[in-house]
Amino acid sequence: MASVIGDRIPSRAKLAARDARRKLNSRLFEVWLWSMGVLITLAILAVIVTIVIKGLPAMNWEFLSTGPKEGMKEGGIWPMLRGSILLMIGTLLIVLPVGVFGGVFLAEYAGTSRLVTLVRACVVALAGTPSVIYGLFGLAVFVLLITKHTSLIAGCLTLAMFALPVIVLTTESAIKAVPESFVEAGVSLGMSKWQVIRKVILPAALPGIVTGLVLSTGRAAGEAPPILFTAGIYYSTAKLTFDLEMFKKPVANLPYHLAEGYRQGSVIPEKIIWGTCLTLMLLVLLINLAAIIVRARARKRQVW
């Protein structure tokens, strides 16, 4: 046995050469991976910077605070911005209770039976379902079946459906991240299960839940397909008011404006299109930024 191995042992010099080759090889591999990471980051930065540069000339207070005029060729995008914000708030209000309680259910009440695993898998799958499917659903149910016309509320409900699975999942994982010792402490104090959830788990998981909520509503606000058939309006001379009546009417909003802008081709000038792109991107980015700040603050306070 020993002699066999002995025959196979290469000379010292050969070994050293091979090691050097291996090291170089590995080094090159690392450089390659590094360059891919840098390349992607630079590409993403380039895209964002391009959108900012192209969009900035249109940006000013007037652009954000007035409506379009001269056949959409001039003026601002306030009605669209307002519509997007309204859609987002409406979506958040609808999805907040269902999503959070749904997450609590999956994390704490559902157990681990096969059925529940299947439900969880389905929620995961729903989170990956294309937004255009939600658009179809919204058209069939909220528009054609219930209200018979497009409206802000139909758009909010459709977007809420779209955002729901993600919120359920983030809530569930935020709750699961709460250490078991917290729950035990609660139980030892004689709390009921619901009291533990309300007084111990939910406060501890709050930053995670808020982050999930904000991120998914932000994403929903940028999606065009769900509101294409459910909520959009192109132009209105009506005064913009904030009342209940508003929910029954369709609203102008940023993604719809861009989609129609594309459909109409060259009616809306490029400058305004870029400005709208930038506004929409900033809107979503700002929301995400808020989420990141919430998360960072929570982390600082976190002691476990």
Contact string 209-238 vs another protein (x = CB under 8 A): ------x--xx-xxxxx--xx--xxxxxxx
What is the distance of C-alpha 64 from the center of its chain? 23
Query: Residue 185 interacts with another protein (CB under 8 A)?
Result: no
Which position among 2, 3, 97, 299 is part of the footprint of another protein (CB under 8 A)?
97
Q: What is the C-alpha to C-alpha distance for residues 103 and 200, in angstroms, rounded to an integer?
A: 16
Task: State in angstroms the smallest separation of the CB of 132 from another protein.
Answer: 5
Residue (205 or 284) nearer to another protein, CB: 284
User: Quick one: which of 120, 106, 301, 109 has its CA closest to 203?
Assistant: 301
Q: Are strands 74-75 and 68-69 parallel, antiparallel or unpaired?
A: antiparallel
Which position among 14, 248, 297, 302 is part of the footprint of another protein (CB under 8 A)?
248
Q: How far is CA 217 from CA 141, 264, 282, in A?
A: 21, 28, 14
Contact string 64-93 vs another protein (x = CB under 8 A): -----xxxx--------------------x
92 near 187, Cβ under 8 Å?
A: no
| DSSP summary character for residue 109 | I
Residue (204 or 218) nearer to another protein, CB: 218
Residue (77 or 258) nearer to another protein, CB: 258
Query: Residue 202 interacts with another protein (CB under 8 A)?
Result: no
* Stretch near another protein under the rule CB under 8 A, chosen from 7-15, 94-102, 173-181, 205-213: 94-102
Window 128 to 147, contacts with another protein (CB under 8 A): 128-137, 139-142, 144, 146-147
Quickly count: other Cβ atoms within 10 Å of residue 169's Cβ.
Answer: 21
The radius of gyration computed from the CA coordinates of the chain, to the nearest angstrom, equals 27
Q: What is the C-alpha to C-alpha distance for residues 196 and 185, in angstroms, rounded to an integer?
A: 9
Residue (3 or 191) nearer to another protein, CB: 191
Residue (17 or 267) nearer to another protein, CB: 267
List, in order, residues 6 or more apart from 195 with CB less than 8 Å away. Answer: 186
Query: Residue 157 interacts with another protein (CB under 8 A)?
Result: yes
Task: State in angstroms the smallest separation of the CB of 246 from another protein.
Answer: 10
Query: Residue 102 interacts with another protein (CB under 8 A)?
Result: yes
Q: What is the C-alpha to C-alpha distance for residues 13 and 92, in angstroms, rounded to an integer?
A: 68
